[in-house]
Structure 1
Amino acid sequence: MKQLFLSFLFLTFILHLTAQTPAAGQYLFILDGSGSMWQKLGEENKIAIAKTVMKNLVQSLPAEAQAGLVAYGHNRKSDCADIETLVPLARLDKAAFSAKLDAINPQGKTPIAQSIAHALAVVKTSSAPVTVILVSDGLETCDGNACDLVKQARKQGVRITLHVVGFGIEEQDLSPLECIAQAGGGRYFPANNADELTGALEQSVEEPVKNGGFLSVKVTLDGNPVDATVKVFKKGETKETALGRTYTGAETNPRVLLLPKGDYVAEINAITLDGRPLQRLADLVIAPNDTLHRTVDFAKGTFEILVTRNAALSDAVVILYRSGTKEVAAQTRSYKDAKNNPVKFQVLPGLYDVSISSVEIEGKPEVRIEKQLLAGAATVSLSHAYQSGELKIGARQDSSPVDATVGIYSKKTGANVANGRTYQTAASNPKTFILEPGEYEVRLNAVKPAGLGKKTLTAVVTAKGTTEVTGTW
């Protein structure tokens, strides 16, 4: 279920971003030609989907663009050195590029690190910046550390932006691929069908961020790394500007994202913790050529919820729900003593809804306090002050008490809020009810003596007041 959730999350990210017109830059594509590319996604093989999508993309590139194509695993089954430049990085010949794509016959291994080393050698011959786009359907199956290679290349001044597209990948820990994208100043895009692959590649050929800065987000639980998604939004916007995943390794946690200069907010979702708790970062200002560091810790925080009635501690059922769901995160009663009231819940950070239902007031009126954001190791203090009054209801025939059933209905909503019986004793006649302030209709039905019939009364209850009404026969 977690993998399905993540696929949905990333799909939403890709579909929500509007593709821009491709820039007339330099692009070097690295395409996976390993044997696993014959696997099917839906009705088609991965390789067939990739060829179609990439040919369509090439047709959309400006005529003045330069593009090259490297493939691996397409000639021999078990050779980690099976890497080849199929199209040199030069002025784009769309027909020739497409023909080379069509000729790829997947059969070998996945030498990602060696392929990137091969691509870097190609890039170093160019005097202009190059966008490298790796499309792979799996993780490394040969030797080498691609992430380190990219880091070293950029430190040495190689002018690249490197994006990674994970195409139909089954593995759950994709941190090696995200690390490559992060080291290359690019993005990691998951793609599980033709539409997602199209969206990923279209974004990959957009003009790289210029004069931007970096957001570094470290996610922990009590100081230990936590796997989380990081979604970044331009302030005031609802579409994601960037998205990444931290995993738990030092290569990707902290997760570093390149952003245009500006004001941002971020949502950090700890996807492997119970309930997938969420925290938000506000007022993130990204400056050119600078890195903004943030640490988000998912240590438990505390809700303190005080419940009173007429300024005194009051008994209520207090339930904490994960926001927008019926999933109970915590539940207890406040009672009427300072030991238990305010109620205290220690829970993981995230967004919660609070329900408070009075035990003392008839009808158990409920109050909901929604979308309360709890940060790690923080305390959120909430309170609700109920108001109530007493309604005493008597039933008599002359001077004698009448045993009658009592129904109390809200004049405002028509709802039945309380029921009771007066009996024929002084202890219960008049019968006392604790109600919220308001106007009520009281319906009496005589039981003893029999045959007296019904009475309907109106009563107004005021805060801290006592109202008495009597039905007489």
Structure 2
Amino acid sequence: MLVFDASGSMWNRVDGDLTRIEVARDVMGDYFGSRDGTVPLSVIAYGHNRRGDCGDIEVIAPMGQTAPGTLESRLRGLMPRGMTPLTDSLRMARGQIPQTAEAADIILVTDGLETCAGDPCALAAELAAEGIDIRAHVVGFGLTRAEVEALSCITEQTGGMLFQTNSGAELADALQQVSAVMSEPEPVPEPEPEPARVAAFDIGDKAEAGFAYPIGWTGAASFVDYMGFVPQGATSGTVSPSYGVIGGTGANPNNPATRTAPKEPGMYDLILVSVSDGVIARQVVEVVPPSMGFEPIGSVEPDSRVRFAFRGPERVEERIVIADLDQPVNEHQRHNWAFALHKNGATNLKVPAEPGEYEVRYLNAKRTEIMFSRRFGVGIPFEDADLTTSADLSAQAAAATRGDAAQDDIASVPATFRLPADAAQSDVSWEAVPLDPDMSPEAWAPQDTGPVISGTFEPGRWRVTAFAPGEVELSAEVAIFPGQVNDFIVQLQDSGETDNGALMLDGPWRVVAVPPRDAPAGAATDVMDMLRITLRTRADAGGWEGSFAPTALMVGPQGSLETAALGSATEEEGYVFLRFALPAVSPEPFVISLSPYDNGYSGTMASGPNSLPVVFWPQDQSLPALPALQDQLYGP
């Protein structure tokens, strides 16, 4: 199973002026051609259909022996735009493994960490516990060393390989190494080998400074072995809440064992140390600053009991203290106080009878530091400008221990628009309107005028219009994305002739069949992908040329999914006609007849007397809702 990252961050540059997705497409194309084609392969991609959708995961090639050209074509049709749901993608890859398989390899190629609140480390532990041998390999593409180490829990728990790659050559070499390991025969075990001492943790790659975590582990550790946080590279630590003996009994060691993340933010190793064998597990954990504080209090009645809500680590000997503003830190008994442990984020304390301004403090165990505090009024007006709640702090902490929320954002892209060479090169005004439903609705309307104009745009599809003197209007629908030349010529809108360039058919498309509302029992009730088609304008401007790849739904489970050349692609009187042959399905040629609809086209796919209502849709865009498609093809 190959899991391929097509999230928005793949538009970042890696080799000179090339983007990660451009480099990866070429490398993966070579990989598909050089790998052992007799080994069944499934390809899963994520982040290529919709922005901000953690469910944007798709099997682009089901488990089988798909032709290398077909795999490459489908991968080249992916347009990065979305999130990085690592955990759910790996889970989908697990679902592709046939029940009869005795072993399987999952190759994850990613340029980012999880951005969808999943826990890939916990899933890796599940994979390691499967009844079959599943190895998960991670190829980090453009990741820092720390980010790659954050994913090491996946490979350590499953016996896979871990790579940090920053160029096309390094990516290709990593894939070759994985292929070599996959093709190696199982080694013959030596007589009565010593059991392997392995262990793995279920904590993620980040933790909050000073907070306690119940950490589960797997492997051959015992109750007398040590576990905890240590400086990177260290083989042991000083006994403390962060590091110590696992404990429990010989038969039932503590699992999970609770450990407190170090107080100082930074990069640490979480290790498991066997008394006899030394370090038997190591995982890099980034300790991030804590999100702590009291909720707003305001004004309260003198000598009353007040509920103080807070978010703090709640460790042994830490105290919640009501104090005068000038009260020394080490003094805690002047007014009411309580231990913080086991308070679950709230405690009731009696406030002083004397009116005035006071402070509620959270003190460390040795009473040498105020970890956080909040002022309030007793019997006097007091307005608290800070309205942060415990829920707000929890949300901040959750965000801090995940991948960067902006990791998958696509940067704005420069583009240039020009009048045709045969148009009057006069001053014209311009505007552009976004067409994709997941784009910002804000239009582009520059103050500058002229026959050539440039701007910076959110990636996606745009309708660009130029208004020339004499009520002449020129227009084009364009796809603006990184990794391509975004230099477009707009055409006369009212010329009476349709220009091939104005139709913007270049690029990857999908042909989708739409069932009627009254489909009979047992028939499909949702849209069905039939073909993937890639078009490009012919050099002689006589229409388009391209290729198509049928889906298994089109040709059946035993049919070929090979990519083949289209017979023709032309525009005639405002309609688009695509012609191709697929003898395995029908002896007569296929004709797809299309007219513009929304961001794509709709029409029919016919062969001889048989026809099927279809929509022709850009591969990088989500389809309209099924009822809207049925209204378009079958009438309201």
Specify the TM-score bucket, using the shorter chain as the normaliser: 0.3 to 0.5
Q: Which of the pair has more CA radius of gyration? A: 1
Q: Is the strand fraction higher in 1 or 2?
A: 1
Q: TM-score, normalised on structure 1?
A: 0.41
